[in-house]
Amino acid sequence: MSIIGLSLTITFQIATRKSRKTNPTVLLVSVCVCLLIFTLLFMLGVDNPHKQLDKPQIQEDNVLPPSDTHTERDRGPCTAVAVLLQYFLLGTFTWNTLYATNVFLMIRNSLATSPSQFTAYTVAIGWGLPAVVVALTLGISYRVDDPLGYRQEEFCWLAALDPKGNFDFKLPMFWGFLIPVAFMLMFNTVMLVYFVVTTCKTNPHLTSTRHTSMKKKFLSSFSLAVVLGLSWILGYLLLITQNQTMYTILNISFCVLTTTQGLQIFIQFTARTAIVKKKMSSALNSVSSAGIPLHTRKFSLWRDKRSDNVESYTQQDTDLSFPTCSSQTSN
């Protein structure tokens, strides 16, 4: 559903870019492109087809010296998939942060469009910053004869655990992904709070702020939170949660919200737009409705000479394509 939603959103944003001069098309399209490619790579290539997990069992009282450990040389596309996953996921958060920056500048400067030269800077930062981080990560941790310094063996993702299965802060998962994403999420959270506070302020001299309902304000804030990827904050809470029940709740919430992020973006930025609603209304009105015949009854009235009461009875039922009525009066 997210893949379909992201594809439709990209198509819609590009096709209607001229009629939405106030919408940051480049930013939203870039977010959707990065998230779409990451989702496809994750679904199709995160599992390592050449994984080698068969290792000899070591008794607890024995200590394996480092000289006896052996790691197979890198082979297969797993490292390439891990590199692309890291790049496009970092790219998604980078474009999220640029989107938040654009919203901040537009609110602060009361602009309907992005500042001049802003698009050029965003393109350079949005696609260049993730490439720099990935290049540094590869240069520091990757070796052909020891690829597990950069990635995992079972899954084509950044290395995170030491040989004993404990989280290792020296491995790329921490400093090559969690640290930069944490800074971007903190910035996005601050920008969301700023947006909510600014939106909820009511200026008596502005008609738009007086008549904006709380529902619209909530939907605007929720839409911004979705495109900023703030659901990933739950992933950081998972790292520090000790309670098993809370861990399960956070885990389920994190999986549901992150995997449906593309669908949420489609609903907020495509399905709910005025253009789509107008097109849907026109399509529904163009569909010819089926003709339903109307029923009418024919009555006769007469006066009863004994009681002077007016009596009526149904003489016949007829099927007509339009309503008619008739009456007959007799003494």
User: For the segment 276-320, what is each residue's pLDDT rounded down to a tens digit?
Assistant: 888 788 777 776 555 555 666 666 666 655 555 555 444 444 444
CA atoms within 13 A on the CB side of 309: 4
259 sits in the region (left: phi over 0; alpha: psi -120 to 50; else beta) called: alpha
Whether residue 153 is predicted with pLDDT greater than 50 in this model: the reply is yes
Asked which of 10-24, 132-146, 223-237, 303-317 is least confident by mean pLDDT, the reply is 303-317
Whether residue 175 is predicted with pLDDT greater than 50 in this model: the reply is yes
- Predicted confidence at residue 320, as pLDDT, reads 44
Three-class DSSP labels, 13-47:
HHHCHHHCCCCCHHHHHHHHHHHHHHHHHHHHHCE
Listed in sequence order, the DSSP H helices in the chain are 2-15, 25-45, 78-109, 118-141, 172-173, 179-200, 207-211, 214-227, 233-240, 244-259, 261-266, 274-286
**Sheet of 310-320, strand order:** 310-320, 294-303, 327-330
Whether residue 322 is predicted with pLDDT greater than 50 in this model: the reply is no
More confident position, 56 or 29: 29
Pairing of strands 327-330, 294-303: parallel
pLDDT band for position 76 (50/70/90)? confident
In this prediction the pTM is: 0.78
pLDDT band for position 69 (50/70/90)? low
Whether residue 331 is predicted with pLDDT greater than 50 in this model: the reply is no
The token pair that represents 308 in the structure block:
């002077």
Q: Where are the domains of the chain?
A: 1-51+74-280
- Predicted confidence at residue 325, as pLDDT, reads 46
- Mean pLDDT, rounded, of the chain: 81
**CA triplet 221, 178, 131: central angle to 5 degrees?**
95
Backbone dihedral angles phi then psi of residue 327, each to the nearest 5 degrees: -145, 150
CATH 2.40.128.20 matches 1-51+74-280: no
CA atoms within 13 A on the CB side of 67: 0
The token pair that represents 88 in the structure block:
């496009």
- Predicted confidence at residue 292, as pLDDT, reads 56
Question: DSSP letter string over 135-176?
Answer: HHHHHHH-BTTBGGGTB-SSBSSB--B-TTS-B-TTSHHIII
- Predicted confidence at residue 326, as pLDDT, reads 43
76 residue type, one letter? G
> Are residues 72 and 52 in contact, defined by beta-carbon separation less than 8 angstroms?
yes
Give how far Cα 54 sits from Cα of 22, 82, 149, 153, 271, Å.
57, 22, 19, 11, 49
Asked which of 128-132, 199-203, 216-220, 248-252 is least confident by mean pLDDT, the reply is 199-203
Q: SS3 of 316, please? A: strand
Whether residue 324 is predicted with pLDDT greater than 60 in this model: the reply is no
> Are residues 188 and 96 in contact, defined by beta-carbon separation less than 8 angstroms?
yes
